[in-house]
Amino acid sequence: MLPKDLGYKDKLFVMPFDHRGSFQSKMFGIKGRDPNAAETQEIASYKMIVYEGFRAALAQGVPKDKAAILVDEQFGSACVLDALQNGIKVAMPAEKSGQDEFDFEYGDKFGEHIEKFNPTFVKVLVRYNSEDDKELNRRQAARLAKLSDYCHTHNRKFMFELLVPALPAQLDKLGGDKKKYDTQVRPGLMEKAIAELQAAGIEADVWKLEGLESASDYKAIVAQARSKGRSNVGMIVLGRGENDEKVRHWLKEGAKVDGVIGFAVGRTIFWDALAGYREKKHGRADAVAMVAKSYKGFVDLFTQAQA
């Protein structure tokens, strides 16, 4: 039986900055260890720049009821608390950062950490390729079903970020051509992965998925996501750190399809702003303004493409 009130149909424009391991290694050069107290505070201050850019975009006309932030407890608690106090939707991650196999950041205490902040959405990032090791997929699915059940019995919306990385054998068949994999193979594997996960008892309200080249690809994925009575389930397009032009194309194609309700674009929006600030190419206020402009630009693009 499907969970009561499964799905999310309203537009949803997510500013994701829940990056942890990759963020601290690539932006701050902290590798192979946890950041110390001073470094943690500095990383948190950079997350606050992204959040302030998001707030500035709301002030510039991005509809608050369609907007949300996705940020972590480790570096983004201050952003979460401010957002919740101001009636802004919040999504928070449950996964351990930087792992190839999904596991909980806080082990069996994941529920305590969710209740501590009371977010609208609980998000997971999962790497799942249906042609990968069957036991690996089974282990991941068992943990994810546990989280899915938790969300639906505790009035949380479940946001599932599905990545389908190419296996070496899959790439070999394409002569190592990653672009061919992305355009010709990945869409079918995404559809298959969603079907397998649904069969394992995992019910996402919102699927957060890698961008696709054509509206027809999106239609096939949405059809699977909304199959067998899941008619209110939504899909949002993630940016995957791609360049502005590529993300714009993905969003324009997705916006044509009923069921694609928005996006979650992070690094494409904030990376240059933060890196430039760190390298003293511009000031903090400029970084905030850059984030606001880029985020609002994607909101406007999606809204216009959908219209």
| Residue 83: predicted pLDDT | 98
Structural domain includes residue 2 = no
**Region for 272 from its dihedrals, namely left if φ exceeds 0, alpha if ψ lies in -120 to 50, beta otherwise:** alpha
| Residue 97: predicted pLDDT | 84
| CATH code for the domain of 104 | 3.20.20.70
Q: How many CB atoms lie within 10 A of CB 12?
A: 24
**Region for 228 from its dihedrals, namely left if φ exceeds 0, alpha if ψ lies in -120 to 50, beta otherwise:** left
Per-residue pLDDT of the chain (307 residues; tens, 9 = 90+): 899 999 999 999 999 999 998 899 999 999 989 999 999 999 999 999 999 999 999 999 999 999 999 999 999 999 999 999 999 999 999 998 888 889 898 778 888 888 899 999 999 999 999 999 999 999 999 999 999 999 999 999 999 999 999 999 999 999 999 999 999 999 999 999 999 999 999 999 999 999 999 999 999 999 999 999 999 999 999 998 788 999 999 999 999 999 999 999 999 999 999 999 999 999 999 999 999 999 999 999 999 999 8
Structural domain includes residue 116 = yes
Cα(43)–Cα(170) distance, integer angstroms: 37
Structural domain includes residue 5 = no
What are the E-state strand segments in 120-212? Answer: 121-127, 157-163, 206-210
Structural domain includes residue 220 = yes
Count up the domains in the chain and report the number: 1
Cα(16)–Cα(177) distance, integer angstroms: 29
Structural domain includes residue 6 = no
Residue 298 lies in domain: 12-306
Structural domain includes residue 284 = yes
Q: Measuring CA to CA, how many Å separate 144 from each of 70, 151, 196, 213?
A: 19, 11, 12, 28
